[in-house]
Amino acid sequence: MITVYLVRHGQTFFNYFHKIQGRCDSPLTPLGIAQAEATRDSLKEKHVHFDYAFSSSSERASDTLEIITEHKMPFKRDKGLKEFAFGRYEAHDESLNPKPPYNDFFKQFGGESQVEVEERMDKTIRRLLKDIPNGKNVLIVSHGGALMNFLRKALNSLHPLGKLHYHNCGIVVLNYDGKNFTLKSVANPADDVSDSYNDNL
């Protein structure tokens, strides 16, 4: 059994200004950095050690991973872990987003369909885990939309986390037996710092 830690990146400037952020990128805010540090500290307190690490090729994800691992661990960046592509909606105000599920909405604007994101993420994560020995811990840092779509497919559920939310730097832990994924736990260790942080940029 492999244990997979799926982490959403920290808050970015586009998050702060409520901009649609998929394939386009923006750096972590000071709060985003603090969120990644809080997640790092939570994992250290639980004595979690990672044997392998992967991130989306977007800067916001790789920066989050480097903070969590204290810049001490080699990792692989993979474009297959990137966020949902929103086409011409990229960098526009979030108020323009339709209500989920997005289905094929963004295809007409040069983006991806929801099924395409699910299949891309599932294929990528299974490929990354293929040759990892049993008993290892794997860190994967990606994006909220991409990770939720992966979880829907991997866990065969429209609401894979139930009523729980997947906040910035949230952690979803899965067990993987080489074929099937099972949900082990969900945590949002950065929530305390997010609630108390003075986010005036």
Residues in a beta bridge with 176:
2, 181
Is 9 marked as a binding-site residue?
yes
Ligand-binding site membership of 60 (annotated):
yes
Residues 43 and 23: their CA atoms lie apart, in Å, by 28
8 is in an annotated binding site: yes
Can 116 be counted among the known catalytic residues? no
Question: Is 77 one of the annotated binding-site residues?
Answer: no
Q: Does the annotation list 10 as a binding residue?
A: yes
Q: Pull the structure tokens for residue 152.
A: 């829907």
Active site residue 71: no
Cα-to-chain-centroid distance, residue 190: 14
Select which of 45, 66, 70, 83 is catalytic.
83
CB count within 10 Å of CB 36 equals: 27
Instruction: Choose among 15, 63, 5: nearest CA to 37.
Output: 63
Which of 9, 112, 118, 143 is an active site residue? 9
Where is the binding site for substrate, in residues?
8-15, 60
What is the set of active-site residues? 9, 83
